[in-house]
Structure 1
Amino acid sequence: MIISTSQVAVITGAGGGLGRSLAIQLARKGCHLALVDINHPALEETQEKLAGNDIKVTLHQVDVGDIDDMHQLYAEVMEFHGRVNLLINNAGITLQKSFASHSLKDWQRVININLWGPLYGCRLFLDVLRKESQSHIVNLSSMAAFIGLPSQSSYCVTKSGVQALSECLYAELKKDGVGVTSVHPGAIKTDMIQATLADSDDLQKAQKNYELAQKVGLSADRAAQIILQAVEKNKARVRVGKDSWILDILRRLMPAALQKGMARMARTM
C-alpha cells in the first residue's frame, strides 16, 4: 500500500507515544485521521501537534475493549470520513505482575484492550477496508510474542494472540488486496509502562525497567517510521529494534536455552 493524500487512517492509542508519532507522520503524508484513545485530553494534545497539515482530524474517546464503544467508533468514522484505508490497532497495556498475583480482573483488563481491541477493530472495519483499492491493517504485537517473559504472562499471551490473528488475516485477506502487518517492537521510549506502574508486584523493579527502556529503547518517531515503511512494502511482519531482532533469532536458534534463561531471570526477580 502506498500511503498518500486523501486516504483515511484510524489509529487507536493515539493519545501519546507510538500512536502520536504515527499520527504525526501520517499527517505529513496527507492522510486524514481518526484518532482514538480513552484519554480525550491526550487526544487533544496530539491534535495540536498536527496543526499546519491540510487534513481532516476527528477525535474519538473510546475504550477499545468495549464492543459498544467500538461500534460507536465505526459509526462515527464512517459518518465523518466515509472510508478507511489504514487501520492501526496500537492501543495496549502491560502489567508487571507474576501469574500468581494476576487476578482474573487483571486478565480481563489486559485481554480486553490488547486482544479484543484489535479483534474488534479488524472485524468492524473489515468490509470497508475490502472496498478500497489500497488498504492495510497494522496490529501491534510485541517481541513478547516470541518468548514467555517472567512477570509478563498476560502481555505475552495477548501479544501472541495478536500475532496469530495477524497471520491468519494476512493469509485470508491477501486475495482481497488488504495488507496485514504484525509489528513486534522491543523497548520503545514511551510511557506505556508508566501508565500501569502502580499495579506492579515490585514497584522499584518496574521503575528500573521503565528507566532502562527510556535509556536504551528506540524513539517512538523512529519506530513509527519503520512501521509505515513496512506498510508501504506490504510486509507481513516487522521487528522494531535490535532487542526484538536478537530475541527472535535466539528463540529460533536455541529455544530451550532461552527458556531456561527466562527461568533464571524469574528466580532473581
Structure 2
Amino acid sequence: MSLWPYHGAAVITGAGSGIGRALALRLAERGVNLALVDRREDRLREVRDAIEGPDHHASVHVLDLTDRAGVAALPEAVRAEHEAVSLLFNNAAVAIGGDFEEVSAEDFDWLISINFGAVVDMTRAFLPVLRRAPRARIVNLSSIFGIVAPAGQTAYAASKFAVRGFSEALRHELEGSSVGVTIVHPGGVATNIANDARINVARPTEEVERRRAAFNKHLSLPPAQAAEIILEAVGQGRDRVLVGADARVGALIQRLMPVRYWDLMKRRIG
C-alpha cells in the first residue's frame, strides 16, 4: 500500500494479542499513531514498547469493554493523547466452549456483551470523533462464523452475525458521509482465542482438551498476514473482506448451499 489515506490515529481494541497486536505493528510501520485498548496492561505495554518510535506515538488504555461508562469516557482519554482519530478497529473478542444447553446464561451474556455490545458501545462513543476527520473508517471484525454457524458455536456465531448486521446497516446509514465501514470475516487465524476460551461445561477434561486441540488445528493463518490483508482492504476503502482461504471457501459454500451448507462443512471441519 503506497498511499495511506487516513491521517489520524487508529484506535484498536484487543490490541494486546492476536490480530489486534498484528494490526498495531503493521500500522506502526506505516507511521500511524495508535490508541491501544485491552484489559491486560502487561500485554499493552509490551506492544507499545515494541512499536513506540520517533515517527509515531502509541498510547495505552487499560479497559474492560464490558464497562460501558469506561467506554463512554475513552474518546476523551484518547483525544488527550492524539490530535485526531480517523480509524476505529473493533477487534476484541472472546469465545466459550460448549453446546447451547451446556453454556450458562451468564457466560452467554458475557460473550455477547464483549463481541457485540462493545462494538456498538465503541462505535457510539467514537463516531462523533470520527466525523471530524476528512476521511475515517470503522473496521468491525466479525468472523467466518458471522456467515456460517457451526454446531457448538451458538453464542459466538450469534455475536458475529450481529456484528455483521450492525455493520452493514451502519454502512448504509453513513453512505455519503466521510465515515466508511468495513466488515471483516477472518477464517482460522492463529490466535489464542481457543486456548483462552471460557470453559464451564460438565465434560471430562480429556474431551475438552481434545475439542480444543481439534479447533486449534484450523487456526493456521499467521496474524501478521491477516493484519496485512485487513489493512490492504481498509486502505482501499473496501466494504467487506474475507481473510484466508478457509473464509473464502466457507462463504462460497454458504452462498451455494444457504440452508444445507453444514452437511458439507462438518465433514471438512471434522
Query: Taking structure 2 as the reference length, what is the TM-score of the superposition?
Result: 0.91
Cross-structure match for 1:209: 214
Could you tell me how far apart the structure 1 residues matched to 2:267 and 2:226 are? 30
Deviation track 1:117-166 (CA, whole Å, cap 9, x = no partner) reads: 11011111111111111100100000001122111100000000000111
Equivalent position SS for 1:181: strand
Q: How many residues align?
A: 265
Q: Against the structure 1 CA distance between its residues 126 and 224, is the aligned structure 2 distance closer, same or farther, given a 3 Å change threshold?
A: same
Cross-structure match for 2:167: 166
Deviation track 1:223-264 (CA, whole Å, cap 9, x = no partner) reads: 000001111111111000111111110011122331344678
Q: Is the 8 A contact 2:5 2:135 kept in 1?
A: no
Shift of 1:169: 1.3
Could you tell me how far apart the structure 2 residues matched to 1:121 and 1:204 are? 34
Cross-structure match for 1:140: 141
Could you tell me how far apart the structure 2 residues matched to 1:23 and 1:263 are? 34
Give the aligned residue type for 1:233: Q
Cross-structure match for 2:59: 58
Cross-structure match for 1:110: 111
Cross-structure match for 2:245: 242
Cross-structure match for 2:197: 196
- Report the identity percentage: 35
Root mean square deviation of aligned Cα:
2.2
Equivalent position SS for 2:114: helix
Shift of 1:6: 5.1
Cross-structure match for 1:233: 236
Structure 1 unmatched ranges of 5 or more: none
Aligned pairs for 1:1-269 (under 5 A) are 3=4, 7-52=8-53, 54-196=55-197, 198-199=199-200, 202-214=207-219, 217-261=220-264
- Which stretch has the larger CA shift, 252-261 or 135-144? 252-261
Decide which structure has greater helix share.
1
Equivalent position SS for 2:118: helix
Could you tell me how far apart the structure 2 residues matched to 1:245 and 1:44 are? 34
Q: Is the 8 A contact 2:141 2:185 kept in 1?
A: yes
Could you tell me how far apart the structure 2 residues matched to 1:132 and 1:263 are? 45
Could you tell me how far apart the structure 2 residues matched to 1:53 and 1:64 are? 30
Shift of 1:54: 2.0
Equivalent position SS for 2:184: strand
Equivalent position SS for 1:35: strand
Could you tell me how far apart the structure 2 residues matched to 1:4 and 1:206 are? 43
Could you tell me how far apart the structure 2 residues matched to 1:239 and 1:262 are? 17
Shift of 1:174: 2.2
Deviation track 1:39-68 (CA, whole Å, cap 9, x = no partner) reads: 110101111210445211110111112211
Give the aligned residue type for 1:120: D
Could you tell me how far apart the structure 2 residues matched to 1:152 and 1:169 are? 25
Query: Taking structure 1 as the reference length, what is the TM-score of the superposition?
Result: 0.92
Give the aligned residue type for 1:121: M
Q: Against the structure 1 CA distance between its residues 198 and 99, is the aligned structure 2 distance closer, same or farther, given a 3 Å change threshold?
A: closer
Deviation track 1:175-194 (CA, whole Å, cap 9, x = no partner) reads: 11211100000000111111
Structure 2 unmatched ranges of 5 or more: none
Q: Against the structure 1 CA distance between its residues 58 and 261, is the aligned structure 2 distance closer, same or farther, given a 3 Å change threshold?
A: same
Q: Is the 8 A contact 1:137 1:180 kept in 2?
A: yes
